[in-house]
Structure 1
Amino acid sequence: MQASDILAKLVGFDSVVGTPNAEIVEWIGAYLKSFGATVDILAGPEGDRSNLFATIGPRDIRGYVLSGHMDVVPANETGWTSNPFVLRADGDRLYGRGTSDMKGFLAASLAAVPMLAASPLMRPIHLAFSYDEEAGCRGVPHLIARLPELCETPLGIIVGEPSNMRAILAHKGKSAARLTLKGRSGHSSRPDLGLNAIHAAAEVLQAAVSTAHSLAQGPFEAEFEPPYSSISVGTIYGGQAINIIPDLCTLEVEARAISGADPAALLLPVHEAAAALERRGFQVQWEELSSYPALSLPRTAHLAGLLAELTGIEPLAAVSYGTEAGLYQRAGLEAIICGPGDIARAHKPNEFILTHELDACQAMIEALGRRCLA
């Protein structure tokens, strides 16, 4: 099958984040087994979602991992000109949800499997496909925990997030949380008898804004845009009517951290402001939504040099979005980002990938396979 044919099949699975993914996992597993790959389907704690890990070549020798996620964001945006879960070709463009982020990488990897399987690999190529990356890399930590039983310590991890086939050495870390404040309702004419959750949330919001202003003063890391850590409140909602004291208010806040900064620690001033409200009678619930560390790979790293040779392009220093690569690095594994497509096309109506981008990715993976012959 050509990469575009495989992509059409993958796009046809509406493997939206947070939903069961048995159909896409079973199809990929059967495809890989047809070429003699060793396949493990690793059920997650949710019970209806699984990671997939497969090996072409010997598992008792150190090799390379191609890492990607099978889930996609929902396709509820207005503006789609065709069914987002049916691949549509228009010239060199292939439209559909997940084409760039990141079923294109999965398709290119799977298209390279026949060549890899027919080669006498001395070092293995592993495929590590995870679930619920779009919810904050929730599936891949379970896969990483199983790696010691699945293979020898990998020489490197190539995470195929869309990067225009240019390797990326670093990204920011992220921590996101949902804060719910519960006060006491009542008539707005007697504010003294209620606890206004929206008013209380304003104090938490001010802590977030003050922290954001402070972070903008440094420390700095010039490779990132912006070159400092940040905090942002993305949603705030509560209340029922103008004449009812609101007893509930919910905020969602995230921190993005430069290398060396703990994203969860950046949220501490916000968390502390919320905790102070408990002493005034409010109930406070803090729910972590996602968390992953920053990635920072030196230019002198083996994987950086290897990807420069395989792609013919010098690596990019950093991007501000995040990936599962930071989690691999935290586990002691060398990781880098390199995949087809463009992140600017992701999470939008009429998401697309170019056929030559798929071809370039498949060629890169096959070149990696040739490196593993000796």
Structure 2
Amino acid sequence: MNATEILEKLVSFPSVVGTPNAEIVAWIRAYLAAQGVAVTVLPGPEGDRSNLFATIGPVDVPGYILSGHMDVVPAEPSEWSCAPFQLKRDGERLTGRGTTDMKGYLATVLAAVPQLVAARLQQPIHIAFSYDEEAGCRGVPHLLARLPDLCAPPLGAIIGEPSNMRAVLAHKGKAAARVSLRGRAGHSSRPDLGLNAIHAMADVLNAAVEQAAALVQGPFDAAFAPPYSSLQAGVIAGGKALNIIPDLCTLELEARAIAGIDPAGLLAPVRARAEALQAQGFQVEWTVTSAYPALALAPDRPLAGLVAALSGQTPLGAVSYGTEAGLYQAAGVDAVICGPGDIGRAHKPDEFILESELAACQRFIEALGARCAA
């Protein structure tokens, strides 16, 4: 099967983030097994979704990881000009959910497998496909925890998020949280008898706004746009009716941190303001919904030079979106982003990738295989 045929199959699996992924895992496992590649399926604690790891070449020699995620964001069919989970071909444009983010990369990795197997690699190439990346990189930590049992310490990991096949050396870290305030309901005519959770949440929201304004003042890293860490409140909900004192209000917020800054720490002033409301009788629940560290690969690291040489493009210093690369680096594995397609097409209706972009990525992977066979 070529990359387009494989992509067509992968897109047909509606592997939406947060849902079971047994079907796509089973298909990839069977495809690799047919090429003579042994696969380890790593179930996550959720019980209905798994990571997948495979090795081409010697397991006990340091090599390279090709890393990608199998999940995609949801797609509302009414917003698409075609069925989102059925690949549509129009010339070299291939439209479907996940074509760019990032089943196109998975397809090129799998399409390159027969040549990698035939090359009799002296250094291994590992395939690491994860789940629930779109929910804040929830799946890959379980894979990374098993990595010492699966292979020799890797020389590096190439995370195939869409970057127009240009190496990306850094991205921001992220922490997201949900705060819930529970007060006391009652009739709006007697506010003295209730505890208004929405009113109380206003203080927490003000803390988030104040922290966001403070972060604009620095510290700075000119590699990023914007060149500072950021914080925003994204979702707020509460109340049942206008004449009922709302006893519950929830706020979801996120912080994105430049390299060297702990993203969870940026949320600390907001959490403190929320927890202070306990003294007024509110029940406060703070839940971290996702967290991953920033990526910062030095330009003089061997992996940066290797990917630049194979791609033929000068590395890009940084992007503001996040990936699993920071988690690989935190686990002691050098990591870089390099994959087909443009991030600007991701998470949108009529998401697409070009066959020429798939071909460029497959050439890149096969060139890596040639290096590992030398």
**TM-score, length-scaled by structure 2:** 0.99
Per-residue CA deviations over 1:235-294 (Å, capped at 9, x if unaligned) read 001111111111111100000000100000000001001100111000111111100000
1:242 is matched with which residue? 242
Aligned mates of 2:77, 2:261 — CA distance in 1: 34
2:221 is matched with which residue? 221
2:119 is matched with which residue? 119
1:76: Cα distance to partner?
A: 2.1
- Report if the CA contact (8 A) 1:183-1:194 is conserved: yes
2:280 is matched with which residue? 280
Aligned mates of 2:88, 2:255 — CA distance in 1: 37
1:338 is matched with which residue? 338
1:360 is matched with which residue? 360
Aligned mates of 1:36, 1:62 — CA distance in 2: 21
1:194 is matched with which residue? 194
Aligned mates of 2:260, 2:358 — CA distance in 1: 34
Aligned mates of 1:147, 1:242 — CA distance in 2: 54
Instruction: Provide the aligned length of Structure 1 versus Structure 2.
Output: 374
1:359: Cα distance to partner?
A: 0.3
- Report if the CA contact (8 A) 2:77-2:83 is conserved: no
2:89 is matched with which residue? 89
For structure 2, the residue ranges without an aligned partner over 5 or more in a row are none
- Report if the CA contact (8 A) 1:77-1:348 is conserved: no
3-state secondary structure, aligned to 2:315: coil
3-state secondary structure, aligned to 1:84: coil
- Report if the CA contact (8 A) 1:78-1:349 is conserved: no
- Report if the CA contact (8 A) 1:51-1:130 is conserved: yes
Aligned mates of 1:266, 1:284 — CA distance in 2: 19
- Report if the CA contact (8 A) 2:65-2:158 is conserved: yes
3-state secondary structure, aligned to 1:279: helix
Name the Cα RMSD after superposition.
0.7
Which residue identity is paired with 1:353? I
Which residue identity is paired with 1:185? A
1:329 is matched with which residue? 329
1:228: Cα distance to partner?
A: 0.3
**TM-score, length-scaled by structure 1:** 0.99
2:22 is matched with which residue? 22
Aligned mates of 2:77, 2:7 — CA distance in 1: 21
Which residue identity is paired with 1:128? A
Which residue identity is paired with 1:165? M
Per-residue CA deviations over 1:149-177 (Å, capped at 9, x if unaligned) read 10000000000001111110000000001
3-state secondary structure, aligned to 1:322: coil
Aligned mates of 2:79, 2:24 — CA distance in 1: 26
Matched, 1:267 2:275: no
3-state secondary structure, aligned to 2:249: strand
Aligned mates of 1:373, 1:269 — CA distance in 2: 52
1:78: Cα distance to partner?
A: 4.0
1:36: Cα distance to partner?
A: 1.2
3-state secondary structure, aligned to 2:317: coil
Which residue identity is paired with 2:329? Q
Which residue identity is paired with 1:225? A
- Report if the CA contact (8 A) 2:77-2:84 is conserved: no
After superposition, residues 2-81 of structure 1 pair within 5 angstroms as 2-76=2-76, 78-81=78-81
For structure 1, the residue ranges without an aligned partner over 5 or more in a row are none
Aligned mates of 1:197, 1:89 — CA distance in 2: 51
- Residue identity over aligned pairs, in percent, reads 69
Aligned mates of 2:344, 2:154 — CA distance in 1: 30
Which residue identity is paired with 1:367? A
Aligned mates of 1:354, 1:273 — CA distance in 2: 49
- Report if the CA contact (8 A) 1:207-1:269 is conserved: yes
Per-residue CA deviations over 1:203-261 (Å, capped at 9, x if unaligned) read 00000000000000000000101000010000001111111111111100000000100
Aligned mates of 1:67, 1:295 — CA distance in 2: 15
Which residue identity is paired with 2:182? K
Matched, 1:144 2:144: yes
Per-residue CA deviations over 1:65-103 (Å, capped at 9, x if unaligned) read 000000011112642011100000111210000000000
3-state secondary structure, aligned to 1:48: coil
Which residue identity is paired with 1:92? E
